[in-house]
Amino acid sequence: MPDDPVVPTTALERPESRVPVAVGMAPTTIDEAWRLSQAMARSGLVPEGFRGHPEDVMIAVMMGAELGLAPVQALNSIAVINGRPSVWGDGLLAIVKQSPLCLRHDEYWRVDGARVDRVPSEALALDETAAVCVFERRGAPEPFLRSFSIAQAKRAHLVGKKGPWTEYPDRMLLMRARTFAARDAFPDVLRGLTSTEEARDTPPPILEAPAGPLPKVRRRSETVEGEA
């Protein structure tokens, strides 16, 4: 009998034998999206704001699909602030960097006019200390460089604000610079979304009541003297 053929035993010897592994799940119909949203809304692994709200989950998943985010990534990246969707700063950066329009990205802090990768605590008391973000967009003549300084944060009444601005102000400076640069460089990629960090610092709009008494609403059957 002829010798048995040698059969490769590892995937490296037979690359074509590798079985593709699905790393994400994306619904393709409205029914699939709704069933997936119901399941995710019952999970304890999704952010608390989405639990028990499959309608919100579905909208977030649909919005994430438009931005190139997988369903689970969308739920972890999208937050609703004052009734408007926003994206956490790291998710915003991921959306921009995965776009073929983004050629280069750079972030740093500027202290005493010099670039630094870490901000000394004493520099956070100086008005000129700033975070800088740079995006280079394909086809744009110049890079988009935006900064946000301690002086700007003071004018916006953010310095000393309870929460992240007290705990890690250097990080919050960077998130604001990143948001400005990304929104200016890639409005078509972000589709009007802002960062959650900026949205949380923006007060909700105040709806003012119209001056004077409200006009009387008349039924069509009512008649007014002098009218036909």
Q: Which positions ≥6 away from 66 have C-beta within 8 Å? A: 191
78 and 125 housed in the same domain: no
Is the pLDDT score of 26 beyond 80? Answer: no
67 and 110 housed in the same domain: no
On whether residue 200 sits in a domain, the answer given is no
Average pLDDT, the chain: 84
175 and 127 housed in the same domain: yes
Half-sphere exposure of 174 (CA within 13 A, CB side): 19
106 and 183 housed in the same domain: yes
On whether residue 153 sits in a domain, the answer given is yes
152 and 76 housed in the same domain: no
118 and 184 housed in the same domain: yes
* Alpha carbons 226 and 228: distance in angstroms, whole number: 7
69 and 140 housed in the same domain: no
56 and 129 housed in the same domain: no
- Domain residues for the domain of 37 are 30-87
Half-sphere exposure of 65 (CA within 13 A, CB side): 12
With CA atoms as reference, report the closest residue to 47 among 25, 80, 69, 75: 75
On whether residue 225 sits in a domain, the answer given is no
On whether residue 113 sits in a domain, the answer given is yes
On whether residue 173 sits in a domain, the answer given is yes
User: pLDDT tens for residues 28-41?
Assistant: 888 888 999 999 99
User: pLDDT tens for residues 134-169?
Assistant: 999 999 999 999 999 999 999 999 998 999 999 999
Task: Check residue 14 and give its pLDDT.
Answer: 38
Pairing mode, if any, of strands 102-111 and 114-116? antiparallel
On whether residue 82 sits in a domain, the answer given is yes
Q: Which positions ≥6 away from 112 have C-beta within 8 Å? A: 123, 126, 128
- What are 129's two structure tokens? 């200390």
Is the pLDDT score of 221 beyond 80? Answer: no
50 and 110 housed in the same domain: no
Domain count, the chain: 2
On whether residue 199 sits in a domain, the answer given is no
Range of lowest pLDDT (48-52, 141-145, 185-189):
48-52
On whether residue 183 sits in a domain, the answer given is yes
Q: Which residues on adjacent β-strands are paired with residue 105?
A: 135
106 and 145 housed in the same domain: yes
Is the pLDDT score of 209 beyond 50? Answer: yes
Q: Are 143 and 135 a contacting pair, CB within 8 Å? A: yes
* Alpha carbons 123 and 110: distance in angstroms, whole number: 10
142 and 170 housed in the same domain: yes
Q: Which residue reads 């050629």 in tokens?
A: 103
